[in-house]
Amino acid sequence: MQRFYITTPIYYVNDAPHIGHAYTTLACDALARFMRLDGRAVHFLTGTDEHGQKVEKAARDGGSEPQDFTDKVSQNFRDLARELDISNDDFIRTTEARHKACCSELWRRMAAGTAPNGESNIYLGKYAGWYAVRDEAFYGEDELTTGPDGRKRAPSGAEVEWVEEPSYFFRLSAWQDWLLDYYSTINPDFIGPNTRRNEVLSFVKQGLTDLSISRTTFSWGIPVPGDPKHIMYVWLDALSNYVSALGWPANEGDPAGLFAKFWPADLHMVGKDIVRFHTVYWPAFLKAAGLEPPRRVFAHGWWTVEGQKMSKSLGNAVKPAAMIAKYGLDPVRYFLLREVPFGQDGDFSQAAMVRRINTDLANDLGNLGQRVLSFIQKNGGAVVPQPGAFTPEDRRLLDATTALMPVLRHELGQMQAFNRALEAIFAVVADANRYVDVQAPWTLRKTDPARMATVLYVLADTIRRVAILLQPFMPQSMAKLLDQLAVPPGPGRDFARLEQALVPGTALPPPAGVFPRYQEAAT
C-alpha cells in the first residue's frame, strides 16, 4: 500500500487561531482525506510550537509560567481541529518528552557530522546581528527597512533588535551548493508553487551565511546537549517536530515503526512567510544529521479581510468558529479551498462567501440533488430506478465522472491546486444540470416512462459519484447526500467503488436539502 505523510506547520502559541491557521489545516485535511479514499496509508500531523523568547515573554507578561501558558493556548488549536472536522492522526507539542529527545539527538548527529567542505557542521562562536523576536528569526542588514520612527524592521514588518551573545553556529554556507543541486537536479519538485521556488533559489544563490542556532538570553526552550546554558534556536526545535512525531529516534531500527513507514514526509504545507525555514534550513539540518529531506514543501498565500490585511490593531481577524456559526462548516471549507488559486493571496469577503454558497452549493449542487431525488421519490417509487440501454448522452455524463480521477490525482497530489480540482468536479455538476434540462424527465414521465427511469438512474449515479469525489472537501454534507442515495458508510464510499453503480430497486429515504441558500437574518 502506498503511504502519504502530510503535515501542517506547527502553530506558534502566541495568538488565537484565525482564518490563516484554518486555511492551512483545511488544505492538509482535504489532501489527507483524498489520499485515504484513494487507498493510501496516511499519516496527518498538526500541532503547536511552544518554545522561544516570544512565548516566554508573553507568559511572564500575563503572570503565568510558560508551561501553563502553552497548555492553555495549545488547547485552542486542538479545539480548532475539532471545529473544522479535521482528520489528523497526531497532534505534536514541542514541550512533549518525545520531541525534546528527538531535538537533542538531531543536534548530536548534526554536531558529529561534517559539512560538505569537510569542517564540522556545528561550531561555537559569537553572534552579532539583527533579530526579530516576533518572527524568532535573524535577518541580514540588506533585508531590513527603516520606518519613519527610525526603527528597523524585517520583511514581515516585525521590529528587529541588535543582539550580541555567544552562540553555536550551523555551517549553512557549506551546504549552499548541495541545496542548489537538490533544487535543480535531485528533487526539482521540492518547492511549490514556482513563485516560491524562484524566491528560494534567488535567496540561496545570493550566498548563504552560517546560521546561529542557539541563544543564551532566555531559558524557555530545549537545552543544547552538553552545554545547557545554550537554548536551541527555536526553528531547529520546531522543524524537528516532523520526525519527533514519528517516534524518531526511539524507533529508528524498527521496520514496522512510523518513522520507517512514513519518512521522508511527502508534503509539508506552510505559509509563504516560513518557506525559507522549511526549504533552506530544514533540508540542510536533516542532511547534516544523516536523514533524508522531505519530498515537497508547498507554500500558500495569505488572506486579507474585505481588502485589508488582518491585524490586531484593526481587530479584523476572522475567527473560524464565528465563520462556521454564520455560514456552516462545509460551506466554509469549500469557500477557502475554491475561492483563490492555492498558493496565491486571497481576500475573504461576505459577498464572495455568500456568492459561493448560493451559486455553487445551493443552486448548482444542492438543487441538482434535491430535484432529482425528489422526482424519484414522487415518480419512481422511492427506489433506485431500473435503467435501460444507455444513450451516448448518458455515457458522456457518466464517463465525465470517471475521467475526474486522474485529473484530481494530478491537481491535488502533484500540484496542490485545490481550486482547479473543485472546478473540474463542478464542471460535471454543471453538465448534469444541463442534462436534466435537455432530457426533461418530467416530460418523459408521460411520453416514455422507461426512458425516464434511465435518465433518473444516470442522474442519481452521477450525483453519487460527485458526492464521493467531494468528500475530502465537504465530508459532512457529502455523507448526508450519500445517505440519501442509500450508499452505506465504509468501503462503498471509497474512490475504488466510484464505478460500482447504484443497485436498481434499492429503497431511497425521503430527500432533504443539503445546502440551503444563505440569507442574512432580519434585524
Task: Give residue 306's pLDDT.
Answer: 85
Confidence of residue 299 (pLDDT cuts 50, 70, 90): very high
Which residue would you say has higher pLDDT here, 523 or 473?
Answer: 473
Average pLDDT for residues 436-457, to the nearest whole number?
98
pLDDT in tens, 326-366: 999 999 999 999 999 999 999 989 999 999 999 999 999 99
34-38, 149-153, 424-428, 431-435: lowest mean pLDDT where? 149-153
Confidence grade of residue 311 (pLDDT, cut at 50, 70, 90): low
**In this structure, what C-alpha cell is assigned to residue 388?**
435501460
Q: Does 233 have pLDDT greater than 60?
A: yes
**Residue 309 — very low, low, confident or very high, per pLDDT cuts 50/70/90?**
confident
Backbone angles phi, psi at 7, to 5 degrees: -135, 145
Q: Which of 167, 197, 195 is nearest to 179 (CA)?
A: 197
Q: What share of the chain is helix, strand, coil (3-state, %, to 5)?
A: 50, 15, 35
Is residue 522 very low, low, confident or very high in pLDDT (cuts 50, 70, 90)? low
CB 211 within 8 A of CB 172: yes
Q: Would you say 230 and 214 are in contact if contact means Cβ atoms under 8 Å apart?
A: yes
Q: Is the pLDDT of residue 313 over 70?
A: no
Q: Are 164 and 127 in contact (CB under 8 A)?
A: yes
Instruction: Note the pLDDT tens digit of each residue in 188-221.
Output: 999 999 999 999 999 999 999 999 999 999 999 9
Backbone dihedral region of 150: left (phi > 0), alpha (psi from -120 to 50 degrees) or beta? left
Return the residue matching grid coordinates 500575563: 62
In tens, the pLDDT along 54-105 reads: 899 889 999 999 999 999 999 999 999 999 999 999 999 999 999 999 999 9
pTM (2 d.p.): 0.94
pLDDT classification of 314: cutoffs 50, 70, 90 = low
Q: What is the pLDDT of residues 143-169, one digit of tens each?
A: 999 988 889 999 988 999 998 999 999
pLDDT of residue 133: 86
Model pLDDT for residues 477-492, shown as the tens digit of each residue: 999 999 999 999 999 9
Q: What is the pLDDT of the chain when averaged over all its residues?
A: 95
Q: Above 80 in pLDDT, residue 493?
A: yes
Contacts 24+ apart (CB under 8 A), 239-243: 239/277, 239/278, 239/281, 239/282, 239/285, 240/99, 240/102, 240/103, 240/106, 241/10, 241/45, 241/47, 241/49, 241/92, 241/94, 241/99, 242/7, 242/45, 242/268, 242/294, 243/102, 243/106, 243/291
Residue 316: pLDDT above 90? no
Is there a contact between 21 and 80 (Cβ–Cβ < 8 Å)? Answer: yes
- Cell numbers standing for residue 5: 505523510
| pLDDT level of residue 523 (50, 70, 90 thresholds) | low
Which whole-number Å values give the CA distances from 432 to 400, 437, 459, 470, in the listed order? 10, 9, 7, 15
Q: Is the pLDDT of residue 305 over 90?
A: no
State percent of the chain over pLDDT 70. Answer: 98
pLDDT winner (highest mean) among 108-112, 130-134, 517-521: 108-112
Is a pLDDT exceeding 90 seen at residue 517?
Answer: yes
